[in-house]
Structure 1
C-alpha cells in the first residue's frame, strides 16, 4: 500500500519528518507491511515555507524511484524547512503495466487551485468509469492531467465538484465525489471495493478524508478492521483509520514522531485538521 505523511505547525526542518525518525516515512518504505505491493514506484513531497522565494506556492519534488534509493534525498532535504508539508511514497505491484514516471508521483499540484493531493487508496476500473465521470470534469483541470494514475483523475474530479474552499464546501465536494463514483459504477455494472484515503493540503491547511465503498458498492461499511485482516484484507484496509497526532513541542522529541499531546477536550475538527 502507499503511504503519506502531512504536517502543519511551526517551521521546522523537514529532515525531522522524512529522514531522522527511526520509523521515518522513508525508512518505512524499506519494510512495507503488504509485501506484494512494495514501495518502489516513486515518491515525492510538497512543502510551504516562509523562507522560500515564493512562500505562497509549494516547493514540489518528485522522483520515480524507490525513496530509500534516492541519492538526492540526503543532500536536498536537510537544507529545507516547512510549516506545511505533504509527502507520499507510491506502492506498486510487480506488473509491467505500472508506469514509473515523474508524472505519476504524488503529490499532485494543478494551477488555479490552492490544493494539492496525495492518496493511499484505489479507484477500481477508473478508466472505464471515465465514460460516466468525464461530464463532471472541468476542462481547466482535465487539460492539466499528465499522468496515468487514478489519483490524478480523482484530483480532477474533486476540483471540478468543489464550489468553494470552506470546510463545508470541501465536505460537500467529497460527498459529491463518492456519490458520482458510486452511481457510475452501478450504471456500468462495475461496483467494487473502493478505498479513498486522501490528504488534501494547502498552505497552513490539511484536510484528511477516509472513506469509500464496499465490494458491492455499499457506503455503509462497518466492521472491526483489525479482525478483518485475516478474512478480508481489502475491506480491512478500507476501514482502517488515518492516524492523526495533534500536539506541541515536536522539536523536543528528537529522531521520533512523538509530541506533547493536545489537552483533552480540544480535538481537531472533522474536516479541517491542523495536525502533525
Structure 2
C-alpha cells in the first residue's frame, strides 16, 4: 500500500534519487508502474537521511502528497547524503495520526518502512501485540499496522537480534497470526539495507559507480535492475547484495534462488 526506497553509497542530493529519475518515488506517488494494490500514494510521505559524522538520521515527513510540498522540492535539491530511506503512502485505513503514520519510522540509528497491509487489522494482531511491554504499546508513534510491525521489529533489535533476523522473525510471526498479510519491510542503519518480500514487489540496483538501491520498483529503465523473488530476505551493503529464501509459516516452500541470485557484488564487471 505504498512505495519505498533505500540507498547506501556515495553522497548525492536527495532529489537525484527521489525526484529526478523518470519513474522516481516522486512520480510513483501518482503513477507507479508495478504497484499491485492501490493506485495513488497520496496519504503522506517521508524521507530519512544520514549526515556525515552523525549516526542518528534526520527525518522530514508530511501527511499530504509529496507533489504538493514545495519545501521538500527545495530540500531535496540541496541536501546530500550517502544513505536514506524514503516512502510515499497509500493508507490501509483512513484515520488520524497525520504525519506520525508516515514512514520512515525511526529509533536510534534505524529507519524503517512497511509496504503492505496486515490482514484483519487490528484484531488479528491483538495476541501478538500483547507480547510487547505495555509501555511500548502506549508509546507507539501511530495507531496503524505499520507502527505495530515496527514495534515488533524494534523489540527484537533491542534484544540483540541482527537486522536480518529481526525482520525475518517479525514477518513469520505476523504472517502466522494474520495470513494473507503483505509484509514487505525495509530497514537501514545508514550502512546496510535489509528488506523482505512478502506479497509485493521489490527490486535492487547495484550501481557501477558504487552504491546500492533497494526499491519497490525501478526508478528508471536501467537493464541492471533485478527483481527480488517473493518470500525472500535481502541484505545489502554499498557493494554487495545477498538474497535468502524465507519459509512460509504455513509450510509452503519459498521460491528457489538461482546461483547468481544468492550473492551479487556491485564491484563485478557489468555488461
Q: Identify whether the pair has TM-score above 0.5, normalized to the shorter chain.
A: yes
* Contact in 2 for aligned 1:14/1:82 (Cα 8 Å): yes
Q: State the superposition RMSD in angstroms.
A: 3.2
Match of 1:164 among 155, 160, 163: 160
Query: Which of 1 and 2 has greater Rg?
Result: 1
SS of residue matched to 2:130? helix
The TM-score with structure 1 as length reference comes to 0.71
SS of residue matched to 1:136? coil
* Contact in 1 for aligned 2:30/2:42 (Cα 8 Å): no
Q: Does 1:245 align with 2:205?
A: yes
The TM-score with structure 2 as length reference comes to 0.72
Match of 1:135 among 125, 130, 145: 130
SS of residue matched to 1:74? helix
Q: Does 1:103 align with 2:100?
A: yes
Alignment gaps of 5+ in structure 2: 212-218, 226-238, 245-262, 267-271
Match of 1:206 among 170, 183, 193: 193
- In the other structure, the counterpart of 2:40 is 38
Q: Which has the higher helix share?
A: 1
- In the other structure, the counterpart of 2:11 is 11
Closer, same or farther: CA 9–160 of 1 in aligned 2, 3 Å? same
Deviation string 1:46-100 (CA, Å, 9 cap, x unpaired) is 00121xxx7211010001101111121221111201111000000137x7x3336
Aligned length: 226
- In the other structure, the counterpart of 2:242 is 269
Deviation at 1:197, TM superposition (A): 0.6
Structure 2 counterparts to residues 79-94 of structure 1, below 5 A: 79-92=78-91
* Contact in 2 for aligned 1:15/1:78 (Cα 8 Å): yes
Alignment gaps of 5+ in structure 1: 186-191, 212-237
